[in-house]
Amino acid sequence: MSTDMTQARQAGLYSIGEAAKRAGVSVKMARYYESIGLMPPAKRTLGGYRLYSENDVHQLIFIRRARALGFSIEEIEQLLALWRNKRRASAEVKRLALKHVQDLDAKIAELQAMRDALFHLAEHCHGDERPDCPILEQLAHCEHC
């Protein structure tokens, strides 16, 4: 281990691998979040290795949890800005959350309609040795040709 990394550890800083592990994300994702600006540029050792503070680890956890709830990168940017702003209005956070719930409801409805249509087609397919198949016929049907 290099001297500068030893000093960094003594200062309470983590390597990218350690920070990623503590946050439950991959090293690749930690780099990606930095590259798109969700994370501030990492401090660096003299050798160029990234260093992360406990606060950086908390931000990675925040991002991971927001992604797990399906928030987009843009929404996470807004949520991070609100999280960092101690003078924020919780009404704005609630507005973003409820908007995301509406988006999820729309996706659920769309997926349910897709599921129902596919199930309907599968019910009408004989599923035997015959070549005719309503599933393939529907997929091949051209509505705007």
Residue 122: enclosing H or E segment and its boundaries? helix 90-123
In the CATH hierarchy, which fold is given to the domain comprising 1-87?
Multidrug-efflux Transporter Regulator; Chain: A; Domain 2 (1.10.1660)
pLDDT tens-digit series, residues 20-29: 999 999 999 9
Give residue for tokens 């309470």: 12
**pLDDT at site 2:** 61
**Residue 61 DSSP symbol:** H
The reported pTM is 0.81
| pLDDT of 1 strictly over 60 | no
Query: pLDDT tens digits for 29-65?
Result: 999 999 999 999 999 888 888 999 999 999 999 999 9
